[in-house]
Amino acid sequence: MRIVLFGPPGAGKGTQAKRLIDTLKVPQISTGDILRAAKAEGTPMGKKAAEFMDAGKLVPDEVVIGIIDERTQKDDCQSGFMLDGFPRTIPQAEALGAMLKGRDQGIDHVVSLEVDDGVLVQRLTRRRSCPECGAIYHLDFSPPKTEGKCDQEGAALMHRADDQEEAIRERLNVFHGQTSPLKDFYKQAGLLREVDGAGAPDAVFSNVTQALGV
Ligand code: AMP
């Protein structure tokens, strides 16, 4: 199965992807995670991407398209993959379609997590994550057992640079301007599955699995 998890920042794409990969046995491919790792390693791509990411802007299409082209050709993607945070623009979606067509493949479902802006801001400002294992916490709804520390690794939790209020506002603007037109793009292709993403992770997961029929 080849799936796109679609939605605004804070919609729960990462949280749902981590649950779905256990059910579907396909890898999660998050362009945000790949770019953050490149930034942390200080690679040339990471340095270039950091300027855009910290300001809440999109990294240029050719960079993320290149990442996805390379990553989806790896062996673990033979029986499918789950894209989290890609595509985010029409040119990215077109490039993805062309890339898969060239391999006699296609996307099966685009799951769109629907959440209002007010809820998103509330989620993002209180979100913390583990830099080692990627676990995601919310200070009010799913806090770690020990304050500031990951339950799994004990690593110090981080507050992403782009989860500060100004960058959040910019990311929501970018979503409404550049990314949300993709919903029509995939609706016309008959691939869009709209899912209520406003509830707790368990409730949203059950909406997602129902929409996918898994
Ligand atoms: P995310 O973790 O998906 O919220 O992504 C964090 C940041 O990485 C975004 O705000 C962008 O700066 C960058 N990014 C991730 N995926 C993409 C993409 N598909 N296109 C452009 N920029 C991206």
- pTM of this structure: 0.93
Q: Which residue has the tokens 């690679």?
A: 43
Confidence of residue 191 (pLDDT cuts 50, 70, 90): very high
Closest residue to atom 15 of ligand 1, CA basis: 32
Task: List the alpha helices (DSSP H) in 55-200.
Answer: 61-71, 90-101, 117-125, 165-174, 181-188
- The rounded mean pLDDT for the chain is 95
pLDDT value for 26 = 97
pLDDT value for 134 = 87
pLDDT value for 161 = 87
What's the token pair of residue 66? Answer: 């290149």
The alpha carbon torsion through 199, 170, 110, 64 (nearest 10 deg) reads -140
CA of 107 to the centre of ligand 1 (A): 20
Query: Is 13 a catalytic site residue?
Result: yes
Encode pLDDT of 110-163 as tens digits.
999 999 999 999 999 999 999 888 899 999 989 999 999 999 989 999 999 899
Domains of the chain: 2-26+79-212 (3.40.50.300)
The H-or-E segment that residue 137 falls in is strand 136-138
